[in-house]
Amino acid sequence: MSARELAACLCREGDRHLTLGQPPLATAFYLAAFSCHAPSAVQRVREALAEAQGAPVVATLEAWCRGDGQIPTIHWDGMAVVSLTGTLASAFLATLCPDHPTSVLHTLAGLLAHGHHGEVARRCDALLATHSQQVLELQLTRALAWVLSRVQVDDGVVDYLRAFVESPERTVAFIRTHQQPYLSLLVRTLEDHTSGHQEAGSSASQQETTCQRLMAALGPGGARSQPLPPAALLRGGRYEDCLAACSRALEPDTVGSRPQGEHLATLLVTRAAAAFFLEGRAQDVLGDLQDAFRESPAAARRQFQALLSAEDRERVRVRVQEAADLGFSRFLEAVRSRLELRGDAGRELLAPVTGALRFLLSVAPPGARPALGVRLAECLLLAGDAMGAWALCDRLLRPGNRQDVRPGPRARPRAPLLALRGFCALHAGDTRRAREDFQMVVEQGVPHPVGCVRALCGRGLLRVLDGSAVLGALDYVTACHLWPEEALLAAKAYVPWNHRGLLLIVLREEGRRMLQRRRDSAPAGMPGRRKKAAEAGSPGAQEGDAQGVYQLATLLMELDTEDEASRLLAADALYRLGRLDDAHKALLMALSRRPQATPVLARLALLQLRRGFFYDANQLVKKVVESGDTACLQPTLDVFHEEDRQLLWGHCHARALAILRARPGRDGGAQAREAISYLSLAIFAAGSQASDSLLARARCYGFLGQKKTAMFDFNAALRAEPGNVQALCGRALVYLALGQQKEAVDDIISALKLDPGTVVPEIRLLKPEAQVFITQGLYTHCRALLSQSLDTGAPLSDEDSQGLLAVAEALVKLDAQQPGWHILLTDVLMAVGNYEEAGAHLQKTLGSAPLSEEARARLGLLHIKKGDVPAAMQVLQGLVEKDPGDLSFLLHLLEASERQSLAQAAAQKAGTLLDAGFPEQALGFCSLAVLASGDSDQHLRTRAACLAELQEFGRALRDLDCVLQKGAGDSDPLTQAEDFCSRGRLLLSLGDEAGAAGAFTRALELAPTLALSSLRERPGRAPTAQVLQHHGQRCLEAQRHAEAWTAAESGLLVDPEHSGLKRLKARVRREASSGCRLH
């Protein structure tokens, strides 16, 4: 960047501070720009003056030229700008305002300092001749030039006295402010002037009095009693006097001003040197040196080197280094002693350390500066100045830096600095840069202990924030393994305060998951992962995990001393390491802090069982049960070994059963609740192997009326063991209590398939009304399944067959006196093809008792299976009119050929009876033929004829309609015509003339000859014609001319000479042609 560009940047920064109302800072940036490129700075400030904004800048420059106020320190690009002086301010002001009085005075003071006394006197004369402002100041400046020139000393003294007479206060103030370095010389000159007049016997008493008054105003004593300068006192060994002189010089004067800039730095270094030689004043030395180097580093360094020898300077450096190290150690101790997780107590201890390090960086040899820079960056970060620390780290890591790492055996490692820069970026919110720095440290071939531990902690935090909790926890476990103390420091000090709570929780949970890891953690079907899981689950790997978790838990306990969960994690890790005594001690300590903590009590109970102290274990388990807080034990018990958990399960389960078997005089509800507490602990201990405890607890909940809770336990038992018959029965009873009969029946059926011998006693224990619900539900289920199978024609599956047999047999066992159960078992046996067994069971169970119709029907079916169709026909025809549905079910059990034989035999028998004039006896055979044939048209016509003879015209009409619907498209027209004739006659018998006329008309359309013959036979020519005439007249009245015409035409076919039909036809023709109705 060129000087012009740098000046432009500094001017922009000055503009910004001027806009913010900060004239000193704005003027300092303009002054820095002036030092880089004067034309740019002058142009920018003159533009501000033109806009009426630059007046504060000029006023600030005036104050600095007069020595009123300190030039503030400014920073640019991470570095302090230290070249801003009053001389530079005077030059800037003189360039801006060439005739400005303040600038002129400062210029003259500079000439005096460089020994140009005569030139100063001449310029003052010229200015006094032309300027009306600051006459007094110009006179005093000329007087000092004459005094210093040793040529016109008396003239100078006269000017001083004249100015003092005219304005005493202004004179003294100007001398003290602008001529302070020459004050001793001036006082001695005044004393010499007074003494000379006294020796000459001069009578100028007024002038002598004025001279004495001026000396009194400037300070006590005369030249002979004026103290030596502090530097001279120091060189003379008068350290106390030097210290006092410096302190006096640093005190504000009567107008409140005190030394500034280089003069202040010089005095502070001188006082520090005096305090150093006096011993015992290390803090004073350090404080003055810090203030001096902060005020003016260049002047302070010159004075430091001028006053102290190389050996003394090294001693000072060593002492300051010791003070810095001591202060940093105190800060680290304060960090370790923090009680608040998110607290930052102790930061104030870093302020003197930071100052000491800045001083050391200014005076230390080049070889020692890199380490000092790293420590300073560390202190800045820990004090909260993340950006300043990052800038310093970045500068130290730059390849072009003189202090960069050099190859070789004594090269300074980069790892701590990289890790430090990573934390700086993390605090500044730049996670990308932080991750890159941490990764660079971790990937180094030979890890640096401090840098690697800090980088692991930083990377672990970033992984946690990114959601990779497992990887983050592994980083912290590794860091604790490498250097636990450094990992604790990183977590307590370097991790941002607002992330520590999250980090604590995540590390604690991941540590617990490491302890809970099992050997079967890999998914099935993935050999590679199973192998890795087996390796991770090996005893050696698990012990390594436990050791890492213990170190991690120790870190968490130090991070938050009030976190009980971390203490329990440490105790669990000790248990997994086999250090049972240490784990027991840790738990006792945790119990002393929280005497009723259930997780602690449960762990102690397990340990005591493991160690064989059963009485203590029983007392601890009792306390856990009494606490009622067992829901939190699942993650607690997951840590323990399977054999230890089985010990706890056996103890708690046995205790619960003993409570339930206690004498009945106790309150049953209280017994159940106490047993539930023990069973809950047993379930947590056993995990997936807790079926017995789950069943026992479910029964207890059921006893207490907590049905849904009981259902939850039964479901859990069935998830672990789907074929648990007791769980199925128990859940069925709960379903029944909840009114969910279907679900209850389904569970009972599932249980019966598995173990009927267990289910039947369970059902017998129910109340009678509950047994009725169950048995009726089972019966309905079996009937529905049998009917569904027969309707679809699909054979029963083996599972369904097994279930039906189990249910039917169970129903018979439950109530052998119920005939319906025996009938169901017989049907099931026949449905699965066991006809002989069905017949034997039917004969055996029914014995000599009168047979019911259902039983006789089954016997008839068995006759068919034996080939005795006539006997079966005689049995079945009596049932057909009483329970056709049951008979239809039985017929579906027959083969097709068997049903056909039965239908033919029944039809022949029906025909014989109808021919003999016994329609009542024939009806049963007709219906049997219809059912056996599957509603054959022929058999339906026969039954319709039989029903018509019995005058059951409605049933006969339904059969005939069924025939007509089935044969509407593919039957013979002659047969259809006969069927329509029969339908019309039936409708006429039922009084439906309109329907009958429609049927007659349809028959005449299909087969006129056959229909005429049939209708003339029955109901006869005249009745048929009359029916058609009446129908035609109704259609005509309704103006349905087409239907009326058809009826008339059909009627004339039956009776061509019918006069009424002829008149109807003629009338229809007339009305249809005229479009009107004639009355």
Compute the average pLDDT of residues 925-930: 83
Ordered DSSP codes for 671-724: HHHHHHHHHHHHHHHHGGG-HHHHHHHHHHHHHTT-HHHHHHHHHHHHHH-TT-
Compute the average pLDDT of residues 407-434: 81
Confidence of residue 467 (pLDDT cuts 50, 70, 90): very high
pLDDT value of residue 226: 44
pLDDT value of residue 236: 65
Q: Are 854 and 848 in contact (CB under 8 A)?
A: no
In sequence order, the 6+-apart residues with CB closer than 8 A to the CB of 745 are: 732, 774, 777, 778, 780, 781
| Adjacent-strand bridge partners of 76 | 79
Q: Are 701 and 710 in contact (CB under 8 A)?
A: yes
Compute the average pLDDT of residues 994-1016: 88
pLDDT value of residue 198: 55
Q: Which two tokens stand for residue 630?
A: 């067992």
List, for residues 783-840, the tens digit of each pLDDT value. Answer: 888 887 767 767 778 888 888 888 888 888 888 778 788 888 888 888 777 877 887 7
Say if residue 441's pLDDT is above 50.
yes
Compute the average pLDDT of residues 93-112: 77
pLDDT value of residue 528: 46
pLDDT value of residue 596: 67
pLDDT value of residue 78: 60
CA distance 650 to 656: 10
CA distance 873 to 882: 15
pLDDT value of residue 463: 95
CA–chain centroid gap for 944, Å, is 78
Compute the average pLDDT of residues 915-922: 86
Q: Are 358 and 388 in contact (CB under 8 A)?
A: no
Q: How many CB atoms lie within 10 A of CB 535?
A: 11
| Residue recorded with tokens 């994690």 | 569
Ordered DSSP codes for 233-254: HHHTT-HHHHHHHHHHHHS--T
Q: How far is CA 698 from CA 490, 676, 717, in A?
A: 52, 9, 10
Say if residue 256's pLDDT is above 80.
no
Is the pTM higher than 0.75? The answer reads no
pLDDT value of residue 798: 80
CA distance 1031 to 1051: 10
Confidence of residue 534 (pLDDT cuts 50, 70, 90): very low
In this structure, is the dihedral angle defined by the CA atoms of residues 164, 167, 169 and 172, taken in order, positive or negative? negative
Pick from 881-885, 974-978, 1001-1005: least confident: 881-885
Confidence of residue 507 (pLDDT cuts 50, 70, 90): very high
Confidence of residue 381 (pLDDT cuts 50, 70, 90): very high
pLDDT value of residue 330: 92
| Torsions phi, psi for 616 (to 5 deg) | -60, -40
Say if residue 988's pLDDT is above 80.
yes
Confidence of residue 129 (pLDDT cuts 50, 70, 90): confident
pLDDT value of residue 918: 87
Say if residue 503's pLDDT is above 90.
yes
In what helix (H) or strand (E) does residue 81 lie, and over which residues does it extend?
A: strand 79-81
pLDDT value of residue 393: 92
CA distance 63 to 102: 9
Q: How far is CA 160 from CA 156, 192, 204, 226, 728, in A?
A: 6, 14, 16, 19, 120
pLDDT value of residue 495: 94
pLDDT value of residue 200: 52
pLDDT value of residue 66: 63
% of the chain exceeding 70 in pLDDT: 88
Cα three-residue angle 277-281-283, rounded to 5 degrees: 130
Say if residue 419's pLDDT is above 80.
yes
Confidence of residue 538 (pLDDT cuts 50, 70, 90): low
Task: Name the amino acid, one letter, at 512.
Answer: R
Residue from 638, 629, 561 nearest 599 by CA: 629
Say if residue 405's pLDDT is above 50.
no
Say if residue 408's pLDDT is above 80.
no
List, for residues 1016-1072, the tens digit of each pLDDT value. Answer: 888 988 898 888 888 889 998 888 888 889 988 888 888 888 889 889 888 888 888
Ordered DSSP codes for 179-232: SGGGHHHHHHHHHHHHHHHHHTT---HHHHHHHHHHHHHH-SS-TTTPPPPHHH
Angle between helical axes of 741-754 and 798-814 (0-180°, round to 10): 100
Say if residue 399's pLDDT is above 60.
yes
pLDDT value of residue 491: 94
CA distance 1022 to 741: 65
Output Rg (C-alpha) for the chain, integer angstroms.
60
Say if residue 778's pLDDT is above 90.
no
Cis peptide before 1019 (omega within 30 of 0): yes
List, for residues 1-54, the tens digit of each pLDDT value. Answer: 677 888 888 888 888 888 888 888 888 888 888 888 888 888 888 777 776 667
% of the chain exceeding 90 in pLDDT: 15
In what helix (H) or strand (E) does residue 301 lie, and over which residues does it extend?
A: helix 297-307
Compute the average pLDDT of residues 175-183: 80
pLDDT value of residue 850: 61
Give the three-state DSSP class for 390.
helix
CA distance 497 to 945: 102
Compute the average pLDDT of residues 193-203: 60
pLDDT value of residue 550: 93
Task: Name the amino acid, one letter, at 488.
Answer: L
Q: How far is CA 710 from CA 304, 700, 1036, in A?
A: 88, 8, 77
Q: How far is CA 737 from CA 163, 316, 713, 774, in A?
A: 118, 92, 16, 11
Confidence of residue 222 (pLDDT cuts 50, 70, 90): very low
Say if residue 936's pLDDT is above 70.
yes
Say if residue 455's pLDDT is above 60.
yes
pLDDT value of residue 84: 79
Q: Using CA atoms in the order 246, 252, 257, 262, what is the torsion angle rounded to 10 degrees?
A: 20
424 or 834: whose pLDDT is higher? 424
| Torsions phi, psi for 219 (to 5 deg) | 160, 160
Q: Are 405 and 414 in contact (CB under 8 A)?
A: yes
- Tallying the residues shown for the chain, one arrives at 1079
Compute the average pLDDT of residues 901-918: 85
Q: Which two tokens stand for residue 181?
A: 């370095």
**DSSP 8-state assignment for residue 490:** I
Average pLDDT across the chain, whole number: 82
Say if residue 493's pLDDT is above 50.
yes
| Adjacent-strand bridge partners of 255 | none
Give the three-state DSSP class for 523.
coil
Strand 79-81 with 74-76, pairing = antiparallel
| Adjacent-strand bridge partners of 74 | 81
670 or 454: whose pLDDT is higher? 454
